[in-house]
Amino acid sequence: MLKITNLTKTYGDKRAVDNLSLHIQPGEIYGFIGHNGAGKTTTIKACCGILDFDGGDIFVDGVSVKENPLACKAKTAYIPDNPDLYDFMSGIQYLQFVADIFGVPKAARQEAIDKYADMFSLTGDLAQPVGSYSHGMKQKLAVISALLHEPRLVIMDEPFVGLDPKASHILKEIMRDICNRSGAIFFSTHVLEVAEKLCDKVAIIKDGQLIKSGTMEQVRGDTSLENVFLELEDDDA
């Protein structure tokens, strides 16, 4: 579903991502773990076609992000850690705007908006301007907008930041449902407990390089994911 091959991205003299390769299969929730500045967001933005990269390639359902970015974006949803939405629009105007971009039919979009707005308790606020929303409400709106075109691949950067416990639980259920329908999830998180309970596979990145990847059992062995991560941090000391 998502194949990252020898991805390299540099900023001046610094290699933010260094020859990274990962393969996320259909049906998998794949967690991406690393400290701040490790290269998680750079990798995620490259996968979404937002950020150009210097080496390697990224494929979504067999299609190259470099060669055919629009075809990739049609199958992909991206949920950033800090949604940059149009504050002057109302919530419903923003959702209609996103649905128009992806060419979602009127009946299908209304059904999806009604379903997800109700799930996230946002229905009563859709007529209000986005600028009046709290961070958590904006995050919910971003999630809903990302799901309108029924993406096969959902890529998220710290998706649970700002969400209340109920909304986080709902998002986890949606993630699993997407995978049960042969979709795939690739998301970054610093909340190791979430990764441990939710993910089928995880990858740990450090200084732009892939350190460990595989099933939870393969990565953590006989210890906890937290201990594995702390041991990697201690290597810097």
**Confidence at residue 190, expressed as pLDDT on a 0 to 100 scale:** 80
- For the segment 90-128, what is each residue's pLDDT rounded down to a tens digit? 999 999 999 999 999 999 999 999 999 999 999 999 999
Q: Where are the beta strands (DSSP E) in 12-47?
A: 14-24, 29-33
For residue 147, being part of any structural domain is answered with no
**Confidence at residue 44, expressed as pLDDT on a 0 to 100 scale:** 95
- Residue 25 is classified by DSSP as P
Cα atoms found within 13 Å of the Cα of residue 86, Cβ hemisphere only = 12
Task: Give the model's confidence band at 234: pLDDT under 50 very low, under 70 low, under 90 confident, else very high.
Answer: low
Residue 237 confidence (pLDDT) above 60: no
For residue 99, being part of any structural domain is answered with no
For residue 80, being part of any structural domain is answered with yes
- Residue 161 is classified by DSSP as T
For residue 180, being part of any structural domain is answered with yes
CATH number for the domain harbouring residue 38: 3.40.50.300
For residue 123, being part of any structural domain is answered with no
The structural domain count of the chain equals 1
- For the segment 181-226, what is each residue's pLDDT rounded down to a tens digit? 999 999 998 878 888 889 999 999 999 999 889 998 888 877 778 7
- For the segment 143-185, what is each residue's pLDDT rounded down to a tens digit? 999 999 999 999 999 998 888 999 999 999 999 999 999 999 9
- For the segment 7-58, what is each residue's pLDDT rounded down to a tens digit? 999 998 889 999 999 999 999 999 999 888 889 999 999 999 999 999 999 9
For residue 199, being part of any structural domain is answered with yes
**Confidence at residue 230, expressed as pLDDT on a 0 to 100 scale:** 76
**Confidence at residue 236, expressed as pLDDT on a 0 to 100 scale:** 59
145: phi > 0 → left, psi -120 to 50 → alpha, else beta; which? alpha
> For residue 182, with 0-12 CB atoms within 10 Å meaning exposed, 13-18 middle and 19 or more buried, which class applies?
exposed
What kind and span of H or E run contains 146?
A: helix 135-147
Residue 134 DSSP SS3: coil
**Confidence at residue 125, expressed as pLDDT on a 0 to 100 scale:** 96
For residue 197, being part of any structural domain is answered with yes
Give pTM, 2 decimals. 0.92
Integer Cα distance of 233 and 101 in angstroms: 43
- For the segment 27-40, what is each residue's pLDDT rounded down to a tens digit? 999 999 988 888 99
The per-residue pLDDT of the chain, averaged, comes to 91
The domain of 35 spans 2-84+152-234
**Confidence at residue 121, expressed as pLDDT on a 0 to 100 scale:** 95
For residue 176, being part of any structural domain is answered with yes
**Confidence at residue 82, expressed as pLDDT on a 0 to 100 scale:** 82
